[in-house]
Amino acid sequence: MQRIRLRYTKRGRLRFTSHRDFQRAFERALRRSAVPMAYSAGFTPHPKVSYANAAPTGVASEAEYLEIGLAAFRDPEELRAQLDESLPNGLDVIDAVEVRTPNFVERLEASEWQVRLDGVTPQEAAAAAAAFLAEERVEVERLTKNGVRVFDARGAVAVLEILSPQVDSGADTDDERGRDVRTGRPCAILRLVVRHATPAVRPDDVLSGLRATADLAPPVPAEVTRLAQGPLDEGTGTVTDPLALDRAVAPAGPVAAGEPRATASA
């Protein structure tokens, strides 16, 4: 069985699709593309598809990941292009590699987020970020299926900084309306790097922490985009490519169908 790891996006209005909505769309794309899926054994076989750390509904993302198992060999790039063509614009498959290393989910150590705060000046956001980072612990509440849970939002934050505001003529074009981070009016834009922990700390939890420590309350909901998820470089505060290991052990030339493929042991 061949396994392929895919990176896909949720852009524009498609940020409002739930994870289940994407699953249904992806299953249809598999059928349209005639992908030779491998199936689980048992009384009710299902296609071998596994997802990792899906972004919440309403949050855009440039870095969502899944893995599929195939019953026959397919070229990863050709498969990527066919699946991308079969999905709606905004749900875009942008990368594909053949699985050559184990423990992929363990490599998803952190996420990098971009948070747009309309109605908040960069100066206000910078002061709030400084107050948040100065605290050793910032407790926030979140309603879960098991009731209200209190946890620390500060400990998981590796980076919180203010980016230069994006301002231009503000032309209301189709491209402008579809962007995840729009230009045309001043606002505060945060770069946030959060370690994956239990319980998971999300951007809205950090915004709750900013409200608690600095009374920062944007007048409109924040626009959040996940830019990356993967291994965290603690020295630079950057999130690196989780597919890099699979590429690093790929053979130098094309591998014919049926030939053995080298895999890393770690």
Radius of gyration over alpha carbons of the chain, in Å?
20
> What's the pLDDT score for residue 59?
96
How many C-beta atoms lie closer than 10 Å to residue 42's C-beta? Answer: 7
Cα 241 to Cα 97: distance, rounded to the nearest angstrom: 12
| Helix, strand, coil distribution of the chain in percent, nearest 5 | 25, 30, 45
Q: Which residues of the chain have pLDDT under 70?
A: 165-186, 252-266
> What's the pLDDT score for residue 177?
45
What is the per-residue DSSP string for 49-99? EEEESPPPTT-EEEEEEEEEEESS---HHHHHHHHHHHSPTTS-EEEEEE-
How many C-beta atoms lie closer than 10 Å to residue 100's C-beta? Answer: 18
> What's the pLDDT score for residue 198?
86
pLDDT in tens, 73-118: 999 999 999 999 999 999 999 999 999 999 999 999 999 999 999 9
How many C-beta atoms lie closer than 10 Å to residue 190's C-beta? Answer: 26
> What's the pLDDT score for residue 252?
65
Beta bridge partners of 70: 2, 37
What's the whole-model pTM score? 0.85
> What's the pLDDT score for residue 266?
36
